[in-house]
């Protein structure tokens, strides 16, 4: 009798624990090619960064875009077309709020048709600031970048002018019960990257390595040294022939430098657990 009681209470305890085990999910990272990523947090919130889903390197771009029916936040680093990408279309079908500087948000609404009501002081910041969003599920810090930022109306529009898109940047996204992920945006290496880890340890760095418009492998390796992440995932290479920096070149330099950082090269369309 006593034994059965003990067994039953053990079973009950086990059953009560099961939901806790199920909740302890990972953060998932998906790469769509170029600078476009999706982060799914342990609580199931979805963040898109620079969502040019239909970039020429993504063979399944149209299908991937059609499948994207849930997004909570869209983060855009700067105004160039290859980073604003499919933001407006995704925003209209998901209701995702825009995370940008105020200047870029205004430009995206005015020249890109991003719904004005899906941006505001809660999701817009500037360099040095950190926003706590989605009921504390993520913290997003605005990190500077050395680049430019202009915006043009979509192809086919009568407006052919180049408009100001505010200052370019990157983001440090700290996921609750998950990793801290630094998306560099388009940038050169700059020594202030070393300051990032004074405030946050960076687990994963999404680093532009293609060269021509951003740092190439050599300068990206210096950036990795300054940020000192556990893992670097190369991006912004191979989309066009002129973006000819390769993950192998980055890995070779980091190995030669005895870097502790692991290079993880993602396949386009693939997801990894972090």
51-90 mask for Zn ion (x: CB under 5 A)? Answer: -----------------------------x----------
| b/e per residue 249-260 (b: at least 16 CB within 10 A) | bbbebbeeeebe
Query: Which of 179, 216 has the CB closer to Zn ion?
Result: 216
Query: Which of 179, 211 has the CB closer to Zn ion?
Result: 211
Q: Using CB under 5 A, which residues numbered 89 to 108 contact Zn ion?
A: none
Query: Which of 107, 180 has the CB closer to Zn ion?
Result: 107
Query: Which of 64, 186 has the CB closer to Zn ion?
Result: 186
Query: Which of 80, 219 has the CB closer to Zn ion?
Result: 80
Q: How far apart are CA 117 and CA 226, in angstroms?
A: 38
CB of 83 to Zn ion, least distance (A): 6
Query: Which of 34, 45 has the CB closer to Zn ion?
Result: 34
Q: Does the protein bind Zn ion through residue 50 (CB under 5 A)? A: no
Q: Using CB under 5 A, which residues numbered 133 to 172 contact Zn ion?
A: none
CB of 21 to Zn ion, least distance (A): 43
Q: Does the protein bind Zn ion through residue 186 (CB under 5 A)? A: yes
Q: How far apart are CA 76 and CA 47, in angstroms?
A: 11
189-228 mask for Zn ion (x: CB under 5 A)? Answer: ----------------------------------------
CB of 164 to Zn ion, least distance (A): 14
Beta bridge partners of 150: 164
CB of 78 to Zn ion, least distance (A): 6
Beta bridge partners of 151: 163
Q: Which of 130, 265, 128 is nearest to 206 (CA)?
A: 265
Binding-site residue total for Zn ion (CB under 5 A)? 2
Q: Where are the beta strands (DSSP E) in 145-265?
A: 150-151, 163-164, 169-175, 180-183, 204-208, 231-235, 262-263
Q: Where are the beta strands (DSSP E) in the chain?
A: 28-31, 37-40, 46-49, 73-75, 97-99, 130-133, 138-144, 150-151, 163-164, 169-175, 180-183, 204-208, 231-235, 262-263, 271-273
No. of helices (H) and no. of strands (E), the chain: 8, 15
CB of 147 to Zn ion, least distance (A): 6
Residues that bind Zn ion (CB under 5 A): 80, 186
């Amino acid at each position: 009798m006593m034994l059965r009681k003990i067994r039953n209470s053990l079973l009950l305890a086990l059953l009560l624990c099961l939901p806790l085990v199920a909740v302890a999910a990972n953060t998932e990272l998906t790469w769509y090619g170029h600078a476009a990523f999706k982060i799914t947090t342990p609580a199931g919130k979805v963040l898109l960064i620079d969502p040019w889903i239909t970039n020429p390197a993504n063979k399944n771009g149209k299908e991937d875009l059609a499948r994207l029916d849930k997004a909570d936040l869209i983060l855009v680093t700067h105004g160039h077309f290859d980073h604003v990408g499919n933001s407006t279309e995704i925003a209209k079908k998901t209701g995702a709020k825009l995370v940008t500087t105020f200047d870029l948000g205004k430009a995206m609404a005015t020249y890109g048709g991003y719904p004005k009501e899906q941006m505001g002081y809660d999701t817009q910041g500037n360099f040095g600031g950190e926003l706590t969003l989605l009921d504390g599920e993520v913290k997003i810090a605005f990190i500077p970048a050395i680049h430019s930022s202009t915006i043009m109306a979509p192809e086919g529009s009568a407006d052919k002018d180049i408009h100001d898109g505010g200052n370019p940047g990157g983001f440090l996204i700290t996921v609750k019960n998950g990793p801290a992920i630094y998306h560099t945006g388009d940038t050169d290496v700059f020594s202030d990257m070393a300051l990032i880890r004074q405030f946050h340890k960076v687990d994963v760095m999404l680093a532009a390595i293609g060269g021509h418009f951003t740092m190439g492998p050599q300068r990206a390796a210096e950036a990795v040294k300054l940020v000192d992440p556990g893992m670097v995932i190369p991006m912004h290479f191979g989309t066009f022939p002129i973006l000819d920096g390769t993950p192998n070149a980055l890995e070779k330099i980091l190995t030669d430098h005895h870097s502790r950082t692991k290079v993880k090269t993602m396949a386009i369309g693939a997801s990894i657990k972090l």
